[in-house]
Amino acid sequence: MARIVMKFGGTSVGDIDRIKNVANRVKREVEAGNQVAVVLSAMSGVTNQLVAWCNQMAKLPDPREYDTVVATGEQVTIGLLAIGLQELGLEARSWCGWQIPIRSNGVHGKARIESINTDRMSAAMAAGQVAVVAGFQAVGPDERISTLGRGGSDTSAVALAAALGADRCDIYTDVDGIYTTDPRIVTKARKLQRITYEEMLELASVGAKVLQTRSVEMAMKHRVRVQVLSSFEDKPGTLVCDEDEIVEKELVSGIAYSRDETKVTLTRVPDRPGVAASIFGPLADASVNVDMIVQNVSEDGRFTDLTFTVSHTDLERAREVLNGAQSTLGFERLTDDPDVVKVSVIGVGMRSHAGIAQKMFQTLALEGINIQVISTSEIKISVLIAEKYTELALRALHTAYGLDAA
Ligand code: ADP
Ligand code: ASP
Ligand code: MG
């Protein structure tokens, strides 16, 4: 008998008929003799609505109360699915994060899972009950609900699979696998049969939201076999696995984009040792994640312009921290531009092949797209460009790297 975790995203539980469809899928796995834990997201659009309501109440809502609100979407779907499973004659019950419990570090809005005590859940599953678990939520050291960041149900599912020692973690979504780039934007995107943990980690971390980054980190650490597949069709999906399980390796495995970037510029910062630390230290203390950074020293060497990117949700906090310290930091002006997108090319082939970055710059130049910021890592190149060029850049790069489906 195998133990499996099945996770269904927002679109897959988007209405009552779809939840009934999920119930039927779960039933099939139970009838095949498996012990099943199901992890669910909120119905599509619901979490966005809950976030919007919090932001209508306050510019910077209390993060604990924000979590109390945004975690509710999942409680609805787990209850509904448990009812649906019972209607099909199965034993099932819903579990909120705190009931299991799934314990987190308590950083509200972007908490990390620290431990899961699966004793009670395991016993119920062994007795034949389907466990229907709310994704996205955990309980922190303050005994309050904390959420795991947008897309966090993927992480709930993988963490649970690791804790349960599950044989498989199947992530059901609205596309039938992981593609070379977002198939909703590039119709010529190609489905991958397999992808390494490492490449998926990079793709996710630069915006391929098909899996939340932390879920891939966790899968890699605990060697969880993750499969991404469609909840609407019976087709093989994409397996995320170790490098040695992959026969054909590509130079470039994928292209991703993130619209969740705001470019922040501080002009005329006095250039002296320690200035970067004095700017990025307080931002880190305020839990603001800074991504791409460029520094431009003025000709006389006395001043520097600093440009970096933060996510849209962190912008308000970043502004508050920096403007509050303007007199000590000594910069002249803080400007921000939300109309940017980060486009990234990923591939383990970059370790051994030169010219991959050059191809990116050339391709964008040919399309007349200006690059505002560049950053690279061992297997990744990212550029920041104007948001209006997202589709054009993705399609051109996809073709240039020979990734288009036949
Ligand atoms: P769910 O609600 O099931 O968690 P998400 O919207 O979070 O679904 O993730 C699935 C979406 O990820 C797809 O609809 C697709 O637009 C997007 N996506 C981005 N990059 C990729 C990629 N490389 N392969 C597949 N899907 C991708
Ligand atoms: N409902 C949450 C979100 O929309 C978590 C998830 O779907 O994974 O971000
Ligand atoms: Mg998701």
Q: What is the CATH number of the domain that holds 104?
A: 3.40.1160.10
Within-domain flag for 344? yes
Within-domain flag for 385? yes
Q: Distance, CA 265 to ligand 2 centroid (Å)? A: 31
Q: Which ligand is nearest to the CA of 110?
A: 2
**How many Å apart are CA 296 and CA 264, to the nearest integer?**
14
- Are 60 and 162 in the same domain? yes
- Are 19 and 163 in the same domain? yes
Within-domain flag for 290? yes
Q: Which of 141, 174, 207 is the last residue of a domain?
A: 174
Q: What pLDDT band is residue 175 in, cutting at 50, 70 and 90? A: very high
- 344 contacts 255 by C-beta, under 8 angstroms: yes
Within-domain flag for 189? no
Instruction: Name the helix (H) or strand (E) containing 130.
Output: strand 130-134
The amino acid sitting at 139 is: V
228 lines ligand 2 (CB under 6 A): no
> Per the annotation, does 7 bind a ligand?
yes
pLDDT at residue 304 is higher than 80: yes
- Are 261 and 159 in the same domain? no
pLDDT at residue 298 is higher than 80: no
What is this structure's pTM?
0.92
What is the number of domains present in the chain? 2
Q: Which range marks the domain in which residue 122 is found?
A: 3-174
343 lines ligand 1 (CB under 6 A): no
- Are 57 and 137 in the same domain? yes
Provide, rounded to the nearest whole percent, the portion of the chain with pLDDT above 70.
Answer: 99
Per residue in 15-57, pLDDT (tens digit) is 999 999 999 999 999 999 999 999 999 999 999 999 999 999 9
pLDDT at residue 301 is higher than 90: no
Q: What pLDDT band is residue 380 in, cutting at 50, 70 and 90? A: very high
Q: What pLDDT band is residue 66 in, cutting at 50, 70 and 90? A: very high
Within-domain flag for 329? yes
Q: Which of 126, 153, 174 is the last residue of a domain?
A: 174
pLDDT at 227: 98
Query: What's the chain's average pLDDT?
Result: 95
- Are 153 and 266 in the same domain? no
**Residues with Cβ within 8 Å of residue 300, at least 6 apart in sequence:** none
- Are 170 and 249 in the same domain? no
125 lines ligand 2 (CB under 6 A): no
Within-domain flag for 266? yes
Q: Distance, CA 262 to ligand 2 centroid (Å)? A: 22
> Per the annotation, does 173 bind a ligand?
yes
Q: Which of 174, 209, 233 is the last residue of a domain?
A: 174
Domain at 394, CATH number: 3.30.2130.10
- 218 contacts 224 by C-beta, under 8 angstroms: yes
- Are 62 and 146 in the same domain? yes
Give the nearest ligand 1 atom to 172 CA. Answer: 3
- Are 19 and 127 in the same domain? yes
The amino acid sitting at 330 is: G
Q: Distance, CA 184 to ligand 1 centroid (Å)? A: 9
- Are 253 and 144 in the same domain? no
What number is the average pLDDT over the span 323-333? 93
What number is the average pLDDT over the span 379-389? 96
Provide, rounded to the nearest whole percent, the portion of the chain with pLDDT above 90.
Answer: 88
Within-domain flag for 303? yes
pLDDT at 319: 96
Q: Identify any residues that bridge with 382 across adjacent strands, giving them in sequence order.
A: 344, 375
42 lines ligand 2 (CB under 6 A): yes
- Are 145 and 288 in the same domain? no
Q: Residue count of the chain, please give it.
A: 406
- Are 170 and 253 in the same domain? no
- Are 163 and 271 in the same domain? no
Closest among 216, 218, 373 to 310, alpha carbons compared: 373
How open is the CA angle 74-80-81, to the nearest 5 degrees? 90
pLDDT at 132: 98
Within-domain flag for 121? yes
Q: Whose CA is nearest to atom 8 of ligand 2?
A: 151
Q: Cis before residue 101, ω within 30 degrees of 0?
A: yes
